[in-house]
Chain A
Amino acid sequence: MNENQLVKLAQAGDFDAFNLLIVGHKDKIYRLAMKLTGNREDAEDIVQETFLKAIDNIDKFRRESSFGTWLYAIALNNIKAQAGDRKKMTLKPIEEYLPGGHEAGAAELFDWGDPHKLFEQKQLQKLIESSLAKLPHKYSVPFILRYIEEMSIDEVAAAIKLSVAATKSRIMRARLALREMLSEVFKERANERVQ
């Protein structure tokens, strides 16, 4: 049975059809909520609220996007309402993340080599989590959807209700900001080891 048929059945009151529609999204929405809120209790509330709101509004789902994209949009509204964007870093303009290239006197970027030689896997994971948590949601959300949940640019754009160009730009800035945060930590660690 395809998604459209399941949606029709669910909208007519078939709970089993609804369960089939959400089964593949429970873990994904929990992961997204965990990454954005950084704590399990908030993530659990967001998951529950998301699926309850999906039930409340299922008759309003018009199949203009996939069911998954619609669920993500509900989840993101819940995250925004619950977690907000407090104490997040301000991202620099793209030009300021650039390497400087051939410009005379441009500083050479730190060459990462293999970061696993600088940190153990668990330390790396904590570092990634804390770096992602510093990004404002408007940047971390599209980055996570694109690269961790492996959604297409079009799907991410639909979920966050932005144009494809604006979505790509936010993902790029998130990636550049994360790269820079990680680079600073790796460089510091490498220098400590030399001393």
Chain B
Amino acid sequence: MKECNKQIEQICDYVDGELDSSLCRELEAHLKDCKNCRIMVDSLRQTVILCREGKPERLPGELESRLNSALKRRWKKKFGKK
């Protein structure tokens, strides 16, 4: 248990590809023997992948037009010109 607790920060860095190479080797050795940590690595990786899936939302066209008009008015008020 203690060994796994110590590894959680490393697991997150490992999943993001940010773990120092010597620690990477240590962690990979641990992963060979620890099924729960292997599942943790896989599911943490998939958590981010799933969050990134789907179409990226874009500002709706009608809002962009309204926004641009509001910004122009505010700019004119502040600077007295467009």
Give the residues from 94 to 110 in chain A that come closer than 8 angstroms, CB to CB, to chain B: 94-95, 97-103, 106, 108-110
- How far, in Å, is B31 (CB) from chain A's closest CB? 11
* Chain A interface helix/strand/loop/mixed: helix
A15 adjacent to chain B (CB < 8 Å)? yes
| Distance, CA A52 to CA B73, complexed state (A) | 10
- How far, in Å, is A146 (CB) from chain B's closest CB? 9
Say whether A101 contacts B9, CB under 8 Å: no
Q: How many pairs, one residue from A and one from B, have CB atoms within 8 Å of each other in the complex?
A: 131
B52 adjacent to chain A (CB < 8 Å)? yes
Please give, as numbers and ranges, the residues of chain A lying within 8 Å of B36 by CB-CB distance: 99-101, 106, 108-109
B22 adjacent to chain A (CB < 8 Å)? no
- How far, in Å, is A182 (CB) from chain B's closest CB? 6
Say whether B47 contacts A182, CB under 8 Å: yes
Please give, as numbers and ranges, the residues of chain B lying within 8 Å of A110 by CB-CB distance: 39
Residue of B nearest to A52 (CB): B74
Say whether A30 contacts B58, CB under 8 Å: yes
If A30-B58, A48-B67, A99-B40 touch, whether A182 touches B50 (CB-CB below 8 Å) is yes
Say whether A172 contacts B12, CB under 8 Å: yes
Say whether B48 contacts A175, CB under 8 Å: yes
Say whether B34 contacts A102, CB under 8 Å: yes
Give the residues from 1 to 33 in chain A that come closer than 8 angstroms, CB to CB, to chain B: 13, 15, 18-19, 26-27, 30-31
- Size category of the binding interface on chain A: 35 or more
Say whether B71 contacts A109, CB under 8 Å: no
The digit string for A135-177, where 1 denotes a CB below 8 A from any CB of B, is 0000000010001100000000000000000000000100110
Say whether A101 contacts B50, CB under 8 Å: no
- How far, in Å, is A84 (CB) from chain B's closest CB? 22
Give the residues from 43 to 96 in chain A that come closer than 8 angstroms, CB to CB, to chain B: 44, 47-48, 51-52, 55-56, 94-95
Please give, as numbers and ranges, the residues of chain B lying within 8 Å of A178 by CB-CB distance: 47, 51
If A13-B79, A15-B75, A30-B57 touch, whether A175 touches B44 (CB-CB below 8 Å) is yes
A-B contacts, 9 listed (Cβ < 8 Å) = A19-B71, A27-B57, A31-B56, A47-B59, A101-B4, A101-B5, A102-B4, A128-B50, A179-B43
Interface residues of B (CB under 8 A from A): 1, 3-5, 8-9, 12, 33-37, 39-40, 42-44, 46-48, 50-54, 56-60, 63-64, 66-67, 70-72, 74-75, 78-79, 81-82
Sort A-B residue pairs by CB-CB distance and give the 9 closest, nearest first: A101-B4, A99-B36, A103-B1, A13-B79, A109-B39, A30-B59, A125-B54, A179-B47, A147-B48
